[in-house]
Amino acid sequence: MADYRTPGVYIEEISTLPASVAPVATAVPAFIGYTEKAIVDNVAIDPATTRTPVRITSMLEFEAHFGGAFQEYYSVELTDPPEGEVQTQIAVSSVGTTPLESPYILYYQVRMFYANGGGTCYVVSVGTYNNGDDDPATFPDDADIPTAATDIDSGALNEGLSACEEIDEITILTVPEAIMLDDANRKTIYDNMLVQCNKLQDRFAVMDVEASALSTVFNDGNSFRNDNVGPDYLKYGAAYYPSLKTQIEYAFSDDTVSISDTTTGGNGAIWDGQRLSAVITGQTLAGDDIPLKATATITIEATNMVAGDTVQIGTQVFTCTDAGGGPDDEFELGASPNGTAQNLNSAINNLAAAEATSQRTANVITLTAKADGAAGNDLELEYTPASGMGASLSGRTFEGGLDRYIDTELYNRIKKEIQKHKVVLYPCGAMAGIYASVDRDRGVWKAPANVSVAMVKEPVIQITKAEQADLNVDATTGKSINAIRFFNGKGNMVWGARTLAGNDNEWRYVPVRRFYNFMEESIKKATEFVIFEPNSKPTWVRTKAMIENFLTQLWRDGALAGAKPEHAFFVKIGLGETMTAVDILEGRMNIEIGVAAVRPAEFIILKFSHKLQES
């Protein structure tokens, strides 16, 4: 309050509006896994020892901080065309574990997140790719091929998960590479995700259910319920099934593709044992198949040579002199670099024993080996100055004694065949993106279901209505599993919105749990200003008005059910209502909030009957 002791006019601004509740973000996932590199605050770090969540908003940012996808290893077999055809047959097989070529899938999951409407997310790198020894002599061997058993560390993933506790903005947890682990390690990670969600009460876990090629939908569901997730805090998580055939091509490089060439004919076995890079950059052929004469250059510098300088071409040495008329292996120093070059050019061409011919342009001499093939490629080229450097060479040897065979058509055909291998992913990344998209377009209270999944060709398993019944409802454990199904005319749809607490009437549905997370966290942050305020009626009135205004706006947005606000929610605070005198003495301000959250219409039941004719 102002101190009114000096005559004058004073202004006081009176606050008549209550404080407001700012809505918190609802769909900010954390992706935990392996990346190509890790750069934090423009400094490269070792993610194996430093696990730092990094906030990104696009794939461009992801690639800047964490690099690209793992370069997969492929084996290509070239065989003779069938009778009546002319094109070489190409068979491509992955060297890694099928159907997922390598266990490093975090990059692709983040791509699916953004393809399905994702925005801000956090990435925690727990290690970099194992690229093997990359030895051409042994490529591809076991050391080159990463496997889940040796290269995905459950302890590292759990440490990355723990690092997420420090970031308050995170609201969704995903560990895409947990699906690569065995049941026991996967269960540890999934249980830890639920424990963190319950501890912080501001996030939700999205899990994957393994689809086994040798099992049934029913057994896959039971395996998940029995072996992959415990009984605690199930309301904070949801599981999705099965894996998806995406439209994303696996990353590979020309050097990670090996070729086995069993074709016959003139060019048979040209590429056998080579990598794809040899097809386009040119494979040096052995023998005299396509021989060339190697070349080299000598440039006489502006400083010019001096008497005593020598140039060795193959086994022949040419010496610079300051007087003419010497032996054939001598050349006279010219008055200028061009003159010296002319004299050396003549000496080379006049010496019958010389192993190269020469052509001069100004002060540059171009040498061409007389022998072709490997012999012409073995010539040495050396300049030895008597004092200062008066000449420079293109290199210490002649270059290119053999032609290179380039087959652009074959190269493109091989790449096209490899690109037919599409990434198979479990749904967690796509679902995180769908959560973000639905929250943004409709609100966190809208179920992230009956929406299509982008960048997906089809689920790996076509789930029937009867099979989904066993996934959706489980009377024993209540662990509901949400299905992704293909429908004619609609495409690939998310067809379930239950949490793992499927038998809990309060927390059965994903949007209800996530809406409460959103509401609780928003009100919690907004009421922090009340801490250490007087625990009296003026404070209670301000706090109640703030919360009621927030809930009224949610009711208007359609998040709460009721014909009018008093039907949709209540807020109670005050002495004799939520607090006793002892509560006030002990510094507690109790606020009770009840809301009628909207729930999804999961089963649409149309009832028809006959009506008797009345006229």
Mean pLDDT (whole number) for 266-277: 62
Of residues 458 and 99, the one with the higher pLDDT is 458
Helix (H) or strand (E) holding 108: helix 106-115
Inform me whether the pLDDT recorded for 98 exceeds 70. Answer: no
Q: Which domains does the chain have, with CATH numbers?
A: 29-69+104-250+421-510 (3.40.50.11780), 286-402 (3.30.70)
Other Cβ atoms closer than 10 A to 296: 22
Inform me whether the pLDDT recorded for 389 exceeds 90. Answer: no
d(CA 74, CA 150): 20
pLDDT at 374: 64
Inform me whether the pLDDT recorded for 192 exceeds 80. Answer: yes
pLDDT at 254: 81
Q: What percent of the chain has pLDDT over 90?
A: 65
pLDDT at 520: 97
Mean pLDDT (whole number) for 147-155: 87
**Confidence band (pLDDT; 50, 70, 90) for 501?**
very high
**What is the torsional sign of CA 472, 516, 178, 38?**
positive
Of residues 290 and 535, the one with the higher pLDDT is 535
Inform me whether the pLDDT recorded for 469 exceeds 90. Answer: yes
pLDDT at 287: 44
pLDDT at 264: 64
Mean pLDDT (whole number) for 233-258: 92
d(CA 27, CA 517): 11
pLDDT digits (tens, 9 = 90+) for 510-542: 999 999 999 999 999 999 999 999 999 999 999
Burial of 43 (0-12, 13-18, 19+ CB in 10 A): exposed
Inform me whether the pLDDT recorded for 290 exceeds 80. Answer: no
Burial of 28 (0-12, 13-18, 19+ CB in 10 A): buried
Determine contact, residues 277/255, Cβ cutoff 8 Å: yes
pLDDT at 404: 58
pLDDT at 19: 84
Per the structure block, which two tokens stand in for 574?
A: 């005050």
Determine contact, residues 421/100, Cβ cutoff 8 Å: no
**Regarding beta strands 456-459 and 482-487, do their DSSP bridges make them parallel or antiparallel, or are they unpaired?**
unpaired
Bridge partners of 300, per DSSP, are: 391
pLDDT at 157: 96
Inform me whether the pLDDT recorded for 285 exceeds 60. Answer: no
Mean pLDDT (whole number) for 579-584: 96
Other Cβ atoms closer than 10 A to 462: 11
pLDDT at 135: 53
pLDDT at 99: 40
Q: Which of 56-70, 198-212, 363-377, 489-503 is least confident? A: 363-377
Mean pLDDT (whole number) for 597-612: 93
pTM of the model: 0.78
Q: What percent of the chain has pLDDT over 70?
A: 90
Strands of 257-261's sheet, edge to edge?
A: 89-94, 74-79, 257-261
Mean pLDDT (whole number) for 386-401: 82
* Average pLDDT across the chain, whole number: 89
d(CA 436, CA 258): 41
d(CA 404, CA 401): 10
